[in-house]
Chains A and B, each alone.
Chain A
Amino acid sequence: MTAPSDFMPAVRFELSEVKWFDGRVSRYTKTWDDLDQELKQEKDFGLAVKKAVNRLSAPLATLIGDHSRTELEKAQRLYRHFQQRFQWNGKFGPFASEGLDKAYREGSGSVGDINLGLVAALQAAGFEAHPFLISTRNNGYPADIHPVISNFNYVVAHLRLKDRIVLLDATERLLPFGMLPHRCLSNKGRVMDFEKSYWMEIPATGLFREITQLKLTLDSASRLFGSYSAYKYDYAALKFRHEILETGDTAKYIREKEDALDAMRIVNYRLRNLDSLDQPMIESYELSFDPQGEGRGVIYIPVLPLENMEENPFKLRERYYPVNFGTGWEIQNLVEINLPENYRAATLPEAVGISLPANGGSFILNVTQHGNRINVLSKIVLSKPVYSQAEYYYVKELFSRIVQAQAGNIVVEAME
């Protein structure tokens, strides 16, 4: 979910004006037009960007190099430069706090320092770029009936390319070009085009997407061996890259995997595209394990030996606020099991297929047999980032079916 304040009925007050004792009147809550002008002149916002544009043009010109590169490449290069150069100090806020120059020199600053700097750099390179004000997921949705600048606690760069709009946040080193960190996936933000600012929905900049393939062969000693590969995209890749960075040690990661499936052995563990952020992250390894069996030629193989969902994350009977994943999901798991000549599948789990109302998502699990090969396909799709309270029951039920279906087993028998 996002911030609790998003769902609590409340009357919120905002200071509108003060009449001082000497008769002066100071107005606080204004129209967006007033605010546009004010932020344009604000020394830690509009003015900071304007000044930085002049100062950054020269040093960045060398970085961008000759003009033969495409517009997209140029923007990517600038973005990468800011990502690499800056160390985010963990501080939020849409305004510059250290000052753009100082922050750029030292390579460290707040959200405002880094991303307003990025806006300036993009402008210096001739792009149409503006600050995009955001209230993060934990901070609550911004009020939209009148401007409340204190609602916003974050700023990213809003960049107009020839064919599309791109939102850029340089505070995180692992983000691909054009993707926002999960904390920014709120509802909408304000594009601070100082001539005329406007609201914009925060678009889905990616999915939580993963495709895995497991190929197994059953040998005569009732042992399963084979290979596994997983392609992780967008937010799945981001999460995985963070995990690898945190653990810092794949050996430990492998051990945990081996423990997760009893007595599994992993060899040739490989990670590809760990540093190519715009490419899917690929994990692959070879594995072998002994499935459960009763020792007289009957073997039980879980339908998804590596990645079944064991628990329904949704437990409450009723839900009082929407389910907000931040992104859509797409998880596809393929398993192929090759049996020896004298074995056959005795029973296969029944196919399961359910959909959420109004194309909100679906789950299928299908187990088929072609000759001596068994194929399992499991696919979970959640097409929306947000589901309302009314949809909660369906989402919960979907997950409960997933847990149940993925706990299924394939029974394999030796033929007489």
Chain B
Amino acid sequence: MNKQLKWVLVVLAGLFFWKAGLGQELRFAVNGIPPELRESAEAVTRYSHTRILVTDPRKMILQVKKAVTVLSPRGEYFGVAHVFYDKSRKIADLSAEIYDASGSLVRRVKQKEFSDQSAVSDISIFEDTRVKFFNPPTDRYPYTVYYQYEVRRDDTHYFSDWFPTHSPLVSVQEAVYEVVCGPGFAIRTKEMYLPAAGREVTPDGSSVYRWHVKNLAACGEQPFAPPPRSFLPHVLIAPVNFRYKGMDGRFNNWEEYGRWVYQHLLEGRDEVPEATAEKVRTLVAGLSDEREKVERIYRFVQEKNRYVSIQVGIGGLQPMQAAEVDRLSYGDCKGLVNYTKALLSVAGIPSIYTEVAAGEEQRSYLAGFASFLQGNHVILCVPLQGDTVWLECTSKVAPFNYLGTFTSDRNVLLITPGGGKITRTPSMEGSYNRRSAVFDLHESGEASVRIETEFSGIFYFARHALARATPRQARQLIQELYPLPNLEIESWEVAQPEGDQPLTREQLNLRARGFTNWSGDRLFLPLNPLNRLNQLPGRITERKVPVWIPESYTEEDTFEFRITDGFGAEYLPDNTTLTLPFGFFSVRTRMEEGKLIYRRVLCLNKGYYPPATAEKINEFFREVYRADAQKAVLTMP
């Protein structure tokens, strides 16, 4: 055979195998999904291959190929082909294909058909992240979206966490994650709920890490589910040596990480103009108590500055100069924390810039695994004698030393000159809302209602909107908060008195027509018209994840219904008390001279409980729901 022909055959064979390989890879008939993966899923990741190549610390290439079958309208979100990019992340190649249920190709989508829009969050005023996305316009379910892209970036400090699926509504048929490190580049890895990587060294000295997940069934949406990060498998990766905005760095633990961040991003950014320093000294002059000084300075910062979110380039990690914040009177979280820290140091009070993962998910920094961007926010830690004060510097209205559900009770990272240290923010204690109401009932069925409620702890901001509403908005809000029939609002007041504990107090005077209902000579009286549980947590048959109650709190409601003398109760619901590890509920009803007294207490206890608790928690809330819907029946003998 002549050489040329041989070569042609080799190429053809290669082409054939390549095609065959592709054919196999793209076989997306819906009947190829094992039934157990469809059961609780709205979408199924048929195949995903994520590959990260770092040949040297200045270049990272991300290659993704992914096929998602969308089973129902609720899964549509998961079938949107999308890729994020910005100035330092460039898309090299992007395309998609749409398949129908039988797995045959419906159409190809070119890069120019993708929508392109800013991916700036609602709170930001300046970001440059953009997203290209394509959402197939179809309502013929199921369908499959296959897409692939490549993104290149110059920084190597950060690897996104890899999740085979981010959602409990998505099953995974097969997912592969590969990280290829060139000879001059090393990483540390941390697997969560996944076996360790297979690792190979290629002849050229590159290390190839490979994680492989097959047939991961979605567990479905579950009430009281813990945050996905605490049960979905994922992989965290941190570089040992990296490059970020032209700076080289290296760390193996939090201490080294913290030292690098302090030296490269924080140090020397806390100079404030002399005029401001003078103001601070006047502010704290004559105060002997350190805590009081901190509070004065915190109030000053709250009044002077406002929060803006600016996330561009190095601004994503480095605070603005304190002098700049002083001049502009605004800054992002880093800028405002750094500024507050600068003012405190003028008063001779040391404080520590602290990284935190903000949000209701209560994500903790992993003590044993250091990496960039485990958090998304910074707060200020002020260690005082015997008591540490924590400051949220982005809020103009937060009480002093108040972290709320946003940053309390989780591991955070202190960035000290000597390096990073993991510590824990305090949890929210003593959260309650305590309501007492008097209902004056009239013959006509109308009720005049006086309500006084105190909100504390996590409920401090419960009336934030009402306190700032115009009269028209306030009327609407109150109607939503207290859905009494034919409500007339006579007056309302929200106050936040100064004191040791953050407290919000609400006072309302209302009138409701048709509040009670006559049937013949019987009067039907709803016992809990103000704080009803109006939705039951959904039921599920097979619970797979723990039950999570994110916050402890107590609700106390005491209602006094004043009725005309002589009425007797034909029917009052039985008194109820439920005491369980996760909560407590009690309802007491009693008749007194001319009045009916109702008292309801509901407590929940923060924590993780075994999956089997789900059934008990369901019964618990059904009982609450049942009790809340009860009506008393009164008669005139």
Q: Would you call B625 and A262 a contact (CB within 8 A)?
A: yes
Task: Encode A289-324 as 1/0 by CB contact (under 8 A) with B.
Answer: 000111000101000000000011001110000000
Q: Does A415 contact B (CB under 8 A)?
A: no
B520: chain A residues at CB < 8 Å are 346-349, 411
Q: Would you call A411 and B538 a contact (CB within 8 A)?
A: no
Chain B, interface residues (CB within 8 Å), range = 35 or more
Q: Does A386 contact B (CB under 8 A)?
A: no
Beta-carbon nearest neighbor of B574 in chain A: A295
B538: chain A residues at CB < 8 Å are 255
Please count how many residues in chain A sit with their CB below 8 Å of the partner chain's CB atoms. Answer: 36
Task: Encode B523-555 as 1/0 by CB contact (under 8 A) with A.
Answer: 010000000000010110000000000000000
Beta-carbon nearest neighbor of B487 in chain A: A315
Given A404-B514, A411-B522, A300-B633 contact (CB < 8 Å): yes
Q: How far is the CB of B472 from chain A (nearest CB, A)?
A: 8
Q: Would you call B517 and A408 a contact (CB within 8 A)?
A: yes
Q: Would you call A312 and B137 a contact (CB within 8 A)?
A: no
Q: Does A78 contact B (CB under 8 A)?
A: no
Task: Encode A386-416 as 1/0 by CB contact (under 8 A) with B.
Answer: 0000000000000010011001111100000
B31: chain A residues at CB < 8 Å are none
CA distance A108 to B141 in the complex (A): 15
Q: Would you call A246 and B485 a contact (CB within 8 A)?
A: no
A293: chain B residues at CB < 8 Å are 571
Q: Would you call B513 and A411 a contact (CB within 8 A)?
A: no
Q: How far is the CB of A303 from chain B (nearest CB, A)?
A: 9
Q: Does B629 contact A (CB under 8 A)?
A: yes
Q: Does B483 contact A (CB under 8 A)?
A: yes
A349: chain B residues at CB < 8 Å are 518-520
Task: Encode A318-351 as 1/0 by CB contact (under 8 A) with B.
Answer: 0000000000000000000000000000111110
Q: Would you call A245 and B73 a contact (CB within 8 A)?
A: yes
Beta-carbon nearest neighbor of B486 in chain A: A400
Q: Does A259 contact B (CB under 8 A)?
A: yes
CA distance A298 to B520 in the complex (A): 14
Q: Does A87 contact B (CB under 8 A)?
A: yes
A173: chain B residues at CB < 8 Å are 139
Q: Which of B489-520 contact A (CB under 8 A)?
A: 513-514, 517-520
A348: chain B residues at CB < 8 Å are 519-520
B72: chain A residues at CB < 8 Å are 248
B138: chain A residues at CB < 8 Å are 87
Q: Does B631 contact A (CB under 8 A)?
A: yes
Task: Report how many A-B pairs have Cβ atoms within 8 Å.
Answer: 89
Q: Does B292 contact A (CB under 8 A)?
A: no
Q: How far is the CB of B107 from chain A (nearest CB, A)?
A: 8
Q: Would you call B514 and A403 a contact (CB within 8 A)?
A: yes
Q: Would you call A300 and B486 a contact (CB within 8 A)?
A: no
Q: How far is the CB of A238 from chain B (nearest CB, A)?
A: 15
Q: Does B626 contact A (CB under 8 A)?
A: yes
Q: Does B479 contact A (CB under 8 A)?
A: yes
Q: Would you call B137 and A89 a contact (CB within 8 A)?
A: yes
Q: Would you call A87 and B139 a contact (CB within 8 A)?
A: yes
Task: Encode A92-121 as 1/0 by CB contact (under 8 A) with B.
Answer: 000000000000000010000000000000
B74: chain A residues at CB < 8 Å are 246, 248
Given A255-B538, A294-B633, A300-B633, A312-B485 contact (CB < 8 Å): yes
A87: chain B residues at CB < 8 Å are 137-140
Q: Which of B573-630 contact A (CB under 8 A)?
A: 622, 625-626, 629-630
Q: How far is the CB of A399 from chain B (nearest CB, A)?
A: 10
Q: Does B161 contact A (CB under 8 A)?
A: no
Q: How far is the CB of A386 from chain B (nearest CB, A)?
A: 23
A312: chain B residues at CB < 8 Å are 485-486
B483: chain A residues at CB < 8 Å are 311
Q: Does B476 contact A (CB under 8 A)?
A: yes
Q: Would you call B517 and A409 a contact (CB within 8 A)?
A: yes
A90: chain B residues at CB < 8 Å are 137
Q: Would you call A400 and B626 a contact (CB within 8 A)?
A: no
Given A245-B73, A409-B517, A292-B631 contact (CB < 8 Å): yes
Q: Which of B428-472 contact A (CB under 8 A)?
A: 445
Q: Would you call B629 and A262 a contact (CB within 8 A)?
A: yes
CA distance A89 to B517 in the complex (A): 51
Task: Encode B272-300 as 1/0 by CB contact (under 8 A) with A.
Answer: 00000000000000000000000000000
Q: How far is the CB of A337 from chain B (nearest CB, A)?
A: 14
CA distance A266 to B630 in the complex (A): 22
Given A245-B73, A294-B633, A408-B519, A259-B536 contact (CB < 8 Å): yes
CA distance A173 to B521 in the complex (A): 53
CA distance A28 to B514 in the complex (A): 59
B93: chain A residues at CB < 8 Å are none
Q: Would you call B519 and A411 a contact (CB within 8 A)?
A: yes
Q: How far is the CB of A98 from chain B (nearest CB, A)?
A: 12
Instruction: Say which residue of A262, A294, A315, A350 sits within 8 Å of B570 (CB atoms).
Output: A294
CA distance A404 to B485 in the complex (A): 8
Beta-carbon nearest neighbor of A252 in chain B: B538
Q: Which of A261-307 contact B (CB under 8 A)?
A: 262-263, 292-294, 298, 300
CA distance A131 to B483 in the complex (A): 46
A255: chain B residues at CB < 8 Å are 538-539
B622: chain A residues at CB < 8 Å are 262-263
Given A298-B570, A298-B571, A409-B519, A248-B539 contact (CB < 8 Å): no
- Can you list 16 A-B contacts (CB < 8 A)? A87-B140, A108-B137, A292-B630, A300-B524, A300-B571, A316-B475, A317-B488, A346-B520, A347-B521, A400-B486, A403-B486, A404-B445, A407-B524, A408-B519, A408-B524, A411-B633
Query: What 7 A-B pairs come out closest when comparing CB atoms?
Result: A347-B520, A404-B514, A294-B571, A89-B137, A248-B72, A315-B479, A259-B536
Footprint of A on B, CB under 8 Å?
72-74, 137-141, 445, 475-476, 479, 483, 485-488, 513-514, 517-522, 524, 536, 538-539, 570-571, 622, 625-626, 629-631, 633
Given contacts A262-B626, A407-B514, 12 further A-B contacts (CB under 8 A): A173-B139, A259-B536, A263-B626, A300-B524, A311-B485, A315-B476, A346-B520, A348-B519, A349-B519, A400-B514, A404-B485, A404-B517
